[in-house]
Amino acid sequence: MEHLFEARTQFAISMVFHIIFAVYGIGLPLLMVLAERRWLRTSDPAYLTLARRWARAGSLLFAIGAVSGTVIAFELGLLWPRFMQFAGAVIGMPFSMEGFAFFIEAIFFALYLYGWDRISPVAHYRCGVAVAVSAVMSGVFVMDANAWMNSPAGLVLRNGAVVGAHPLVAMLNPFGTSEILHMVLAAYITVGFGVAAVYAWSLLRNPQDPVSRRGFGLAFALAAILSPVQILSGHYSSLAVGSLQPPKLAAMEALFRTTACAPEMVGGIPDPVGQTVHFGVPIPCLLSVLMHANPHAVVLGLDAFPSSERPNTVVVHLAFQTMVACGFSFLALALWALGLRITKRDFAASKAFLRCALACGFLSILALEAGWFVTEVGRQPWTAYHLFTTAQSLTAATGTIVPSLVAFSAIYVFLAVLLVWLLIGLGTHHNATD
């Protein structure tokens, strides 16, 4: 169990870093395309400046994301070779299709970066659209493989071994739609609020800077419009979790006992030993209503499952509450912005609004990481739900885990520092040349 914890720690550290690179690799291409579209329609040079800036930043994130994704691929073989042997024939297709999407993105990104003055504006814009589409498709295929781990399908088992695989059926697994939708929206919202936070900082110092105003408006609009959609998507995902992974739902809600008229627990710290939640605020019957549209419906608690199949309730519940709190904070800020627009007040003149937008840039990363913890920790102790445990997936070469933990952690810290340094240098260069 010690080696299992070390391996999971290494993979968790890798994913905590990689998911940030990945979502910015998905979201920034969309922003650069939106900015170029606005430039083509309005001829406003500020939008051209934004498109060029975001393209260069996106290319850096694309390169760093490619490196970090390659590290993840190595770790799958290094830490979890038994799982890859078990499931490789089933989930190999989405990973291979992700590779094709990656190559298409690389080709059109090269055309986009070097084609500003070499191809027509319309052709250049279409190259950007190809980058944005292939970027999101790359994420879709990876998330489809992860969704399969939560709801395995498309395989034939005999004596615990896969003897037949149907990759297309596997890709159409029951969890796919809800998980992919939720993650793609999360990527765009994270990038929208993150980029808006950068320009909010600039506007606090210079409220009339046209590039900062356009950049904030475009990025914030993307995140604000999608925030209420994401809340609905989260409810849809919760319904899927309740149907397909009821222990995860019970851990998310810190519901220790199977209950009719089950309450929705707001906040609180679960106590698995005492089977209670400290400092939480229960809303009577709301969980039953949300899950079954019936206030008297029974919701399965953790007591309905063997203790060996229960996820870490403390981690899952706190992560879920963090994600939800961040989501409603985003909605509140979006409504604030709507109020400013309706009353025709200048958002850049409201320092309180800009400071809250700056805070939401950090909260967007927190929400992203918290949601990933809910997904991954909530599936434990399974790698492939109800088919293959994480302990079964672990490499037999346990002596390599600690050295690889140190080495790969150092790689990710280096990549993070390198990215920040490059982005700061890129921003300094832009400020000197604009």
Q: Which pLDDT tens digits describe the chain residue by residue (434 residues)? A: 568 888 888 888 888 888 988 899 999 999 999 999 999 999 999 999 999 999 988 888 888 888 778 878 888 878 888 888 888 878 888 888 888 998 899 999 999 999 888 899 999 999 999 999 999 999 999 999 999 999 998 888 887 777 777 888 888 899 989 999 999 999 999 999 999 999 999 899 988 889 999 999 999 999 999 999 999 999 999 999 999 999 999 999 999 999 999 999 999 999 998 889 999 899 999 999 999 999 999 999 999 999 989 999 999 999 999 999 999 999 999 999 999 999 889 888 889 999 999 999 999 999 999 999 999 999 999 999 988 899 888 888 777 777 877 877 787 788 778 777 776 766 555 554 55
Q: Per the structure block, which two tokens stand in for 35?
A: 């900015």
The per-residue pLDDT for 30 is 95
Q: What are the angstrom distances between the C-alpha of 143 and each of 23, 227, 295?
A: 12, 20, 33
Alpha-carbon span 102 to 106, nearest angstrom: 6
Alpha-carbon span 126 to 123, nearest angstrom: 5
Under DSSP, the state recorded for 119 is: S
Partners of 282 in beta bridges: 265
Alpha-carbon span 4 to 85, nearest angstrom: 18
Residue corresponding to tokens 């994704």 = 69
Alpha-carbon span 233 to 179, nearest angstrom: 9
Alpha-carbon span 110 to 415, nearest angstrom: 22
Q: Pick from 98, 189, 84: which is nearest to 140 by CA?
A: 98
Q: Cis omega (within 30 of 0) on the bond before 152?
A: no
The per-residue pLDDT for 231 is 94
First to last CA, the chain: 56
Partners of 165 in beta bridges: 155
Alpha-carbon span 323 to 329, nearest angstrom: 10
Domains of the chain, by residue range, sit at: 2-433
The per-residue pLDDT for 432 is 46
pTM of the model: 0.92
Alpha-helical (H) ranges within 151-271 are: 167-171, 176-205, 210-244, 246-252
The per-residue pLDDT for 164 is 76
